Chains A and B, each alone.
Chain A
Amino acid sequence: MTEHSPTMWEEIKGQGYSRRDFLKFCAWTAAFLGLESSGIGKVVHAMETKTRLPVIWLHGQECTCCSESFIRTSHPIVGDIILDHISLDYTETLMAPSGHQAEKSLHDTMKKYKGEYILCVEGSIPLGDDGVYCCIGGKTMLQVFEEAASGAKAIIAWGNCATYGCVQSAKPNPTDATTVQKLVSGKPIINVPGCPPIAEVMAGTILHVLTFGRIPELDGQGRPKAFYSRRVHDTCYRRPNYDAGLFVETFDDENAKKGYCLYKVGCRGPVTYNACAINKWNNGVSYPIQSGHGCLGCSENDFWAHGPFYKHLASFPGFGIETTADDIGIALGAATAVGITAHAVSTNIKKRKEINKEVEISRIKNIEKEGGEKNG
């Protein structure tokens, strides 16, 4: 139990950093945020006196499993995060007030902490039909989001919905579900994909910002390198089975009972960047592969587009659910063979005469060596 909540400066001091380091962090943050150097003073000030970082958490087209995952975090536990580390001023899932009192909480923070709050977004934002597919308090999610984004210091896009559009953006994307990164520019966006992201990855991302005073280093797709720089396959404990060519052929077969690699029953670990095999789920208890099911690729763009999930190769667009590139390739190969045979037969019929003539005329009389000079 904390006696008094330390300011961020005190917390950072507690981690063994000097004030100079702290100022450097702040300068770095300011630079990252694209603030003028005059803005640096403000960032320092904000971080030293503000007790808890204000956070607004918006809900768009979602299943709320990102929130559910977040409350499962075990280090730190979520109670400590919301009481001691951040001020979670708006989240429809947990906040006490409803209706216009809830909207008041949102607007108070947007006004009072303009430019200082972190905006978390869970869910996608539908653009179809002017955004009527998701409304909150009579406004479209798009309107609410744009307003909240304009005053945010940085944005965290939670989960596959906010980063890549998740299942609702799967073909035919009936509501034109759209992602945070497609709608905002000029603000730092941290993409934390996964359906949902691992609880401790979510907590870790927030704590990184709080502890180090800056957003974590991101990869080319805006994901924190600390959690998304490795494929599940690179750290999967079944990897030796993969290398040894030991595969589960079908669920619950002898190989499955031995824990062989799930590649042939569709595991997407080789094309999926996530920390599942390292951090594991629910405080390290397991992860999909450990419990016998292949990775679905839930932290990847368009993971739902690579079905069927139980085949290594996705079905080929426009053909049956089971038709892979290999089936089509084999069919084309066979067609080619047929074509070649037909062509060869036709050649022999049509060109026979001509060839016979050629054979006769073309006695090679002089074999000369001068052809080579034609170089050049």
Chain B
Amino acid sequence: MGNEMRRVYVWQLPVRLFHWINATSILVLAVTGYIIGNPPAIQSSAEASFGYWFGTVRFVHFLFAYIFFFNFVYRIYFGFVGNRFAKWSNFIPHSKEQFAEMGRVFKIDILQIAQAPLKAIGHNSLAGFMYFITFLVFLFQAITGFGIYSAMSNSWFPKLFTWIVPMMSGDAYVRVWHHVMMWFFVIFSMIHVYLVFYHDYVEGRGTISSMGGGWKFIEKERLKEDVTH
């Protein structure tokens, strides 16, 4: 058992920035989105001309929608130019080893029927693949969001997404699916945050703080094995 640890710079600044901007916008979008779908009765005997809170909630949703989207676009770009932990190859399983690793991670971390923690440096293959699915949902959420938004905006940008409306046979469907996918984010976040803590706890490699400073602690031996990876 390799016991000597080394500090490894895993998450470059753009990845970390992406991560926290992304996490914040998703939080804001999910909360404002939920309110848009289920507005609370917070006012009763008012005149419309004195209030605009619901409009503001929607405005915040749209504002963070843009932030969320361009942040995401930037991450896509960085997946081509970033370090090897940031690369797209981490996300889309393409080698036998990756598939095998996915199976192992599932047994060890989720079902807990196998022992011996598996210690990837960046994402493990299963996590990477989950993020890939998450990225697809980001894309779906952005396309459907801007698709509905195109009807209420005069800007050219949302109009790029109008095609989704007839494709999903009408605004009502687009909106319902946009709403449904909010729950994907909620559940993803719960599991994701838990697993981050879990890994930090069982592996003790500083997973949590790695998204802050970029550094993880990795066993020396593991690092040697990994150079060819």
Contact = CB atoms under 8 A, between A and B. Distances in A.
Interface of A: 220-221, 231, 234, 240-247, 249, 254-255, 263-264, 268, 270-273, 297, 300-303, 306, 312-314, 316, 325-326, 328-329, 332-333, 336-337, 340, 343-344, 346-347, 350-351, 354-355, 358-359, 361-372, 374-376
Contacts of B49: 240, 244
B204 A371 contact: no
Counting chain B CB atoms within 10 Å of each CB, the highest count among A246, A273, A351, A365 belongs to A246
29 contacts: A220-B166, A234-B152, A243-B52, A244-B47, A244-B52, A244-B53, A244-B55, A254-B45, A271-B171, A300-B170, A302-B169, A303-B172, A312-B37, A325-B183, A326-B37, A326-B179, A326-B183, A328-B183, A333-B190, A336-B191, A346-B112, A347-B202, A351-B202, A354-B115, A355-B202, A362-B204, A368-B6, A371-B7, A372-B9
A314 B178 CA distance: 13
B180 interface: yes
A45 B169 CA distance: 40
A234 B170 CA distance: 16
A266 to B, nearest CB: 11
B228 interface: no
A242 B58 CA distance: 11
Interface of B: 1, 3-10, 12, 34, 37-39, 41-55, 57-58, 83-84, 110, 112, 115, 117, 121, 148, 151-152, 162-163, 165-166, 169-176, 179-180, 182-183, 186-187, 190-191, 194, 198, 201-204, 215-218, 223, 227
A243 B54 contact: yes
Contacts of B84: 374-376
Contact of A333 (B9, B183, B218): B183
A347 B112 contact: yes
A337 B117 CA distance: 23
B194 A343 contact: yes
Contacts of A240: 48-49
A106 B95 CA distance: 67
Contacts of A358: 203-204
Contacts of A359: 204
Nearest to B1: A361
Given A301-B169, A355-B201, A374-B121, 8 more contacts: A234-B152, A240-B48, A302-B172, A343-B112, A347-B112, A359-B204, A363-B3, A366-B6
Contacts of B223: 371, 374
A373 to B, nearest CB: 8
Nearest to B49: A240
A328 to B, nearest CB: 7
A369 B6 CA distance: 8
Contacts of A370: 6
B198 A344 contact: yes
B180 A347 contact: no
B223 to A, nearest CB: 8
Contact of B51 (A246, A344, A364, A369): A246
Contact of A368 (B7, B39, B50, B57): B7
A347 B190 contact: no
Contacts of B12: 375
A149 B202 CA distance: 71
A375 B198 contact: no
A359 to B, nearest CB: 7
A272 B4 CA distance: 64
A371 B48 contact: no
A244 B42 CA distance: 10
B157 to A, nearest CB: 18
Nearest to A248: B41
Given A231-B171, A303-B172, A374 B8 contact: yes
Nearest to B7: A371
Nearest to B122: A374
B170 A302 contact: yes
B180 A325 contact: yes
B31 to A, nearest CB: 14
* 8 nearest CB pairs, A to B: A371-B8, A329-B183, A244-B51, A245-B54, A372-B9, A243-B55, A271-B171, A240-B48
Contacts of B201: 347, 355
Contact of B187 (A231, A336, A350): A336
Contact of A245 (B43, B170, B190, B203): B43
A231 B152 CA distance: 9
A246 B194 contact: no
A326 B204 CA distance: 37
A332 B166 contact: no
Given A306-B176, A347-B198, A354-B115, A255 B217 contact: no
Contacts of B180: 316, 325, 329
B81 to A, nearest CB: 11
B158 to A, nearest CB: 14
Contact of A254 (B44, B58, B172, B173): B44
A369 B176 contact: no
B191 A332 contact: no
A88 B138 CA distance: 53
Contact of A313 (B9, B54, B176, B203): B176
Contact of B46 (A246, A354, A355): A246
Given A244-B53, A312-B37, A336 B190 contact: yes
A352 B45 CA distance: 58
